[in-house]
Chain A
Amino acid sequence: MPPDSSRPEPPRPGGGHSRTLLRVAGRRAAADGVVSLTLEHPDGRRLPDWAPGAHIDLILPGGMTRQYSLCGDRWDAYTYRVAVLREPGGRGGSAYIHDELRQGDLVAVGGPRNNFPLTPSERYLFIAGGIGITPLLPMVHQAELLGADWKLLYGGRTRDSMAFADQLRVHGDRVTLVPQDESGLPDLPSWLDEPRPRTKVYACGPGPLLEAVEARCAHWPPGLLRTERFVPKVESAPVRDEAFEVRLARHGASVTVTPGVSVLEAVRAAGVNVLSSCEEGTCGTCETGVLEGRPDQRDSILDDDERGAGDCMFICVSRSCGPKLVLDL
């Protein structure tokens, strides 16, 4: 075959556009006001790998993007689990998930991405407030696997509102449950005022809890306290579920990216080869410079600052916030 002839690509195992749409495989009440969802690929494929502390974005109708920590089992490559607290004062994301999202529905997903990785230590103190237990659950599992010495201090409004408290019971006195209506607020001074040698503190929960933890740990050596805040993110620009235009600056061509087709596929269909490898936003091979427009980043690579810069994107999974993107291609 002459090298210049064009030809259809052979089918790729696993390649495809529907990768970031996952199906709600199950939902159940995890506690008062908390629903836990299991998500799977509609074709039964493996999902991208993750590690404790990772979250995914759920992209809900109307462009609402919400981040939820993965709290399932990473040894199960086919299912993600998230737990969602209904926030009565919220802006509609959690209400939608509680009231509208049903088993069998498809939902667009970004990530996973990890801003809260578990780092090695001989001892861990995990501190959870309410739904902040979710990223800590897989951390507890891994601390156990690694044979680390760990304790969990878990506070919530009432015993019934504390998700996964039942499954934590198997760990006996490593876990201290502090329902506020029975025992008041967790006694942070007794846990934190004396720095514990070679102990890392991982804390997740509402702002006031984390501020209290940070204040108590102020005199600890640096690097031992790691926190993740459960606060509403600044509202992201609407995430399009309509088509958008991608202009390839160097080729001088434009392509339209329709829903259900990735930017990578659209660019390839226009005859422009872009290297890729994992096609799930984890390896970074298809990094592409963004010259104009705002990418809707759905990869597992960039951290929050880098995402904010918006000067590059991974076109196997990421899309556009607006009607037009200009790429350095």
Chain B
Amino acid sequence: MNLSATSPGHDDLPSSDVDPFGHEVLEDPHPFHAELRESGPVVRLTGYDVYAMGRHEQVHAALTDWQNFESGAGVGLSNFRREKPWRPPSLLLEADPPRHDAPRAVLARILGPRALRRLRDAWFADAAALTEQVLRTGEFDAVTSLAEAFPLRVFPDAVGIPEDGRENLLPYGDHLFNAFGPPNDLVRQGNPRIAELSAWVDARCRPGMLDDDGFGAHIWRAAARGDITEAQAPLVVRSLLSAGVDTTVHGLAAVLHAFATHPEQWRRLRRDPSLARVAFDEAVRLESPVQTFFRTAVTDVPIGGTVVEEGSKVLLFLGAANRDPRRWEHPDTFDLARDPSGHVGFGMGIHQCVGQHVARLESEALLTALAERVERIEIAGPVVRHHNNTLRAWRSLPVRVHPA
């Protein structure tokens, strides 16, 4: 780690030549995050010629301040002002007001807490069935058998896409989140399949492909009413398929890992199952499935005693902010007594994750089913991280469960 005191052109600006997308940081980002937070509110990352922020106060403020930190130039390292994006930009994630307004309003309504009530009973029943099934084996990989299996069981149905080819969703999402980083080995690994995966996803966004009552059909109905245009509708459906799978998978893996390694918290959840909602947000705070997003300064923005120049990219470390000891007591602890409210794991402001209520409902269903039936979860073998430029992800989480 080379954190020098100053950076050329900025008298007091700390800088770092660490590669936040390197395998060492992706395997264990916490030491780098701590250095970042301690170096100052704004740090120059010399390897990529971008600014970085790791403290909760500045990350929260920058996420909220869409007026000064735009998303339209891309929320990855690539600057859309100068470079052509690898796919048409997202109307949600990579757009600013006023273009962002209508797609966001449509999706917020379709994925809002009130709209999701109709899914609740079915998802709880699905979670119970899946739990019964894994309990019969006793030992299994919680990544594939629960964290991937449950979202893949309920979410594509809720969107309304057909059964065939759903195995494409995870590799597509994995590549998409890699592509927010630099064009490194992780991106190169995904490149050969991306044309095929994109074509498969794009084809699922058309009305003929979508079940009548799913989120996708509701998006097309909004287009028929004129709330968005017919040209926007497939891109809004694409946002669901892009952002709705991998993020939830790794969020669920995070909460399962946390419980497997904190048996006292599991007992606590079993005593009070209503803590399932808090547990998921606490795990999202602790693990931050989405670790980073970039913004681009719209103007010269004074922040933390320096000036972030117009047009420069700023890398916001959601994961570092969510463990900032300035904001959280004992930030590295998974604790259901904590109130994780205010974490930035879902972002904040106008771009805050529009699917967060969907993710919460999935996790509440799964944790409730497990808490009812499982006395104890324990790690049964070496856990393996999966490296992704944006996601704090898992490859394998072998567990043993003891039925209640």
Interface residues of A (CB under 8 A from B): 1, 3-7, 9-10, 12-15, 46, 49, 51-52, 74-75, 77, 114, 117-121, 142, 145-146, 200, 222-224, 250, 268, 273-279, 283-285, 287, 301-302, 306, 312
Q: How far is the CB of A146 from chain B (nearest CB, A)?
A: 6
- Given that A75-B67, A273-B278 are known contacts, is A120 also in contact with B102, CB under 8 Å in the complex? yes
Question: Is B341 in contact with A276, judged by CB distance below 8 angstroms?
Answer: yes
CB contacts (< 8 Å) of B56 on chain A: these are 13
Question: Is B329 in contact with A10, judged by CB distance below 8 angstroms?
Answer: yes
Question: Is A277 in contact with B229, judged by CB distance below 8 angstroms?
Answer: no
CB contacts (< 8 Å) of B57 on chain A: these are 13
Task: Give how many A-B residue pairs fall within 8 Å (CB-CB).
Answer: 108
- Which residue from B67, B268, B330 sits with its C-beta under 8 Å from A1? B330
Size range of the interface on B? 35 or more
Q: Say yes or no for B97: interface residue by CB 8 A criterion.
A: yes
CB contacts (< 8 Å) of B264 on chain A: these are 3
Q: How far is the CB of A118 from chain B (nearest CB, A)?
A: 7
Q: Say yes or no for B60: interface residue by CB 8 A criterion.
A: yes
Question: Is A77 in contact with B65, judged by CB distance below 8 angstroms?
Answer: yes
CB contacts (< 8 Å) of A51 on chain B: these are 97-98, 101, 105
Q: How far is the CB of A248 from chain B (nearest CB, A)?
A: 12
CB contacts (< 8 Å) of B343 on chain A: these are 277
Interface residues of B (CB under 8 A from A): 56-57, 60-61, 64-67, 97-99, 101-102, 105, 112-114, 224-229, 232, 264-265, 268, 274, 277-278, 281, 327-330, 333, 335-337, 339-343, 346, 348-350, 352, 356-357
Q: Which residue of A lies closest to B281 (CB)?
A: A275
Q: Which residue of B lies closest to A301 (CB)?
A: B112
User: What would be 23 A-B contacts, judged by CB atoms less than 8 Å apart?
Assistant: A1-B333, A3-B264, A9-B339, A46-B65, A49-B66, A51-B101, A77-B65, A117-B101, A117-B105, A121-B226, A200-B226, A223-B226, A268-B339, A273-B339, A274-B341, A275-B278, A275-B281, A275-B339, A277-B352, A284-B357, A285-B356, A312-B113, A312-B114
CB contacts (< 8 Å) of B229 on chain A: these are 120
CB contacts (< 8 Å) of B340 on chain A: these are 275
CB contacts (< 8 Å) of B67 on chain A: these are 75, 77
Q: Which residue of A lies closest to B232 (CB)?
A: A120
Which 5 A-B residue pairings sit nearest by Cβ, starting from the closest?
Answer: A223-B226, A142-B98, A276-B341, A51-B101, A287-B113
CB contacts (< 8 Å) of B352 on chain A: these are 277-278, 283
